[in-house]
A and B are shown apart, each in its own frame.
Chain A
């Protein structure tokens, strides 16, 4: 059986190396990424919990089988997000409208509020609901790039590695996604 070694002080890359020698360390990777990736899946699709876990299992199995193919020049988180992104596409879940978009916390609202210059007096709960509604109406590719940028807090470089697109293209996509977001937002609030 798998036991849980002490891995809090280990970096992702160290855990990959250790997992190849001792599969118990792979549990650390799973625990570190399970919730994050589950949220990411919910933010992009409308799958239920069971389906999300199925996708997640496929992602983790792929990660484990391909551990030797991990390129240490890449951030491990970018690599695992890339695998999740590809898995969503191959499952045709990516294009389904109305994602769940789980909880939007204060930090995310703060980032979006400042990025889109949203009215200050509108309360956060209301704003969170509006953001969910507008994001659900966006093209899937635009939704994903905004989720990566503002929800997952990925840099342009990381998004480029996750989506396998040049950084310039990522910048263009973010601009276009923001444009679409603004166009869908109720006018008086931007």
Chain B
């Protein structure tokens, strides 16, 4: 009876079996590296976006909101980005394991190193302002980005608790119309007591968050209005692009011009809310 060796040699001979070419292994090694590096970059960007959303949350509002820190934090965590962040970390980990000597390192060491690297690169990206650009890009190009990825929407889409946020769609005599992130329309009323965040310009297309009270069906009375993106306000020396000598609160273009998430009812109407001072 032929031995296993004999049978193997026969199979090789008869089946014309040949070794896989060297390039196949080289390509596989490079693809593992490429996936790991791409995941590292994407994981870093996901982390920078988590940073952006967390640092743009209004943590000082917690007492106003009547929340414990934990519940406010749970409302504000950007879960979708956290899931992506963990997903990219997992891809980095599993690809690292495929490296030539990747299995030599203990799992905890690989995971900690991957975490530190991603956090470090993500912080650098945030320091360079990439997180803000990326966030704006997503907001402008993905219609449902904010409701899915921007956890602040959860905290601010609670009119019964006194929190409302959305985009200004038109000016009214005593306030403005607003469409919230779930596309419900609101009339927002203002009075002389309404506080406006410094340098906030109320213009059509601007996204704002409002603290106040729901006083009727789809009517909200504003006590305080803040810009949705805190760090998108023009600096003190910024020159409005459109006009000089315009009424107060008229339209300086945002640093990153916003494209409305839906068609503006009257695009030519660049409103201004005439605040009683």
Q: Which A residues are in CB contact (< 8 Å) with B17?
A: 61, 64-65
Measured in the bound complex, the distance between the Cα atoms of B8 and A67 in whole Å is 15
Complex CA gap A31/B9 in Å reads: 11
Are B21 and A38 closer than 8 Å at their CB atoms? Answer: no
**B116 in the interface (beta carbon within 8 A):** no
Complex Cα–Cα for A68 and B25 (A): 7
Tell whether, in the assembled complex, residue A26 and residue B4 are in contact, meaning their CB atoms are under 8 Å apart. Answer: no
CA distance A48 to B100 in the complex (A): 35
Q: Min CB distance, A25 to chain B, in Å?
A: 12
Which residues on the A side are within 8 Å of B5 (C-beta)?
27, 30-31, 34, 60
- Residues B19 and A57 in contact, CB atoms below 8 Å apart: no
Residue B83, interface by CB 8 Å: no
Q: Scoring A residues 16 to 55 as 1 if CB is less than 8 Å from chain B, else 0, what string do you get? A: 0000100100110011001000100000000000000100
- A183 in the interface (beta carbon within 8 A): no
Smallest Cβ-Cβ distance to A74: which chain B residue: B100
Report how many residues on chain B are interfacial, defined by Cβ distance under 8 Å. Answer: 22
Are A20 and B19 touching (Cβ within 8 A)?
A: yes
Is B86 in contact with chain A by the CB < 8 A criterion?
A: no
| CB <8 Å contact, B19 and A67 | yes
- Indicate if the CB atoms of B100 and A66 lie closer than 8 Å: no
The interface residues of chain A lying within 8 Å CB-to-CB of B19 are 20, 64-68
How many whole Å from B222's CB to the nearest CB in chain A?
A: 60
| A91 at the binding interface (Cβ < 8 Å) | no
What is the bound-complex CA distance between A34 and B106, given in angstroms? 33
B183 contacts chain A at the CB level, 8 A cutoff = no
Q: In the assembly, what is the distance between CA of A71 and CA of B101, in Å?
A: 10
Cβ A168 vs Cβ B100 within 8 A: no
Taken residue by residue from 1 to 26, chain B's Cβ proximity to chain A (1 for < 8 Å, 0 otherwise) reads as 00111011101110001111110110
B104 and A61 within 8 A (CB): no
B20 and A66 within 8 A (CB) = yes
Within 8 A of A (CB), among B1-57: 3-5, 7-9, 11-13, 17-22, 24-25
Chain B residue, CB-CB nearest to A60: B8
B20 touches A30 (CB 8 A): no
On chain A, the residues within 8 Å of B103 by CB distance are 160, 164-166
Contact of B106 among A20, A26, A30, A169 (CB under 8 A): A169
Contacts of B18 in A (CB 8 A): 65
B7 adjacent to A57 (CB under 8 Å): yes
Q: Contacts A65-B17, A65-B20, A69-B25 given: A166-B8 contact, CB under 8 Å?
A: no
> What chain A residues lie within 8 Å of B4 (beta carbons)?
30, 34, 38, 53, 56-57, 60
Q: Is residue A124 contacting chain B, with contact meaning CB distance below 8 A?
A: no
Residues from chain A with Cβ under 8 Å of B7 in the complex: 53, 57
* CA of A188 to CA of B115, assembled, Å: 51
A117: interface (CB < 8 Å): no
Q: Residue A126 at the B interface, CB < 8 A?
A: no
Q: How far is the CA of A31 from the CA of B4 in the complex (A)?
A: 10
Q: In the bound complex, how far is the Cα of B12 from the Cα of A65, in angstroms?
A: 10
Cα–Cα, bound, A12→B10 (Å): 22
When the two chains form the complex, which single residue of A2, A65, A160 contacts B9, counting CB atoms closer than 8 Å? A2
Chain A window 51-91, contacts with chain B (Cβ cutoff 8 Å), 1 for yes, 0 for no: 00100110011001111110101000000000000000000
CB proximity of B25 to chain A, nearest CB, Å = 4
Chain A residue contacts of B104, Cβ below 8 A: 160, 166-167
- Tell whether, in the assembled complex, residue B13 and residue A34 are in contact, meaning their CB atoms are under 8 Å apart: no
- B21 and A30 contacting across the interface, CB-CB below 8 Å: no
> Chain B's nearest CB lies how many Å from the CB of A2?
5
18 pairs of residues in contact across A and B, judged by CB atoms under 8 Å: A23-B12, A26-B12, A31-B5, A53-B3, A53-B4, A57-B4, A61-B17, A64-B8, A65-B17, A65-B20, A68-B20, A68-B21, A68-B25, A69-B24, A166-B104, A167-B104, A168-B106, A169-B106
- Taking A2-B13, A64-B8, A64-B12 as given, write out 19 further A-B residue pairs in contact, using a Cβ cutoff of 8 Å, ordered by the A residue number: A1-B13, A2-B9, A26-B12, A27-B9, A30-B5, A30-B8, A30-B9, A53-B3, A56-B8, A61-B8, A61-B12, A65-B18, A66-B20, A68-B19, A68-B20, A68-B25, A165-B103, A167-B104, A168-B106
8 cross-chain pairs, A with B, having the tightest CB-CB distances, nearest first: A30-B5, A164-B103, A69-B25, A56-B4, A60-B8, A53-B4, A68-B22, A67-B19
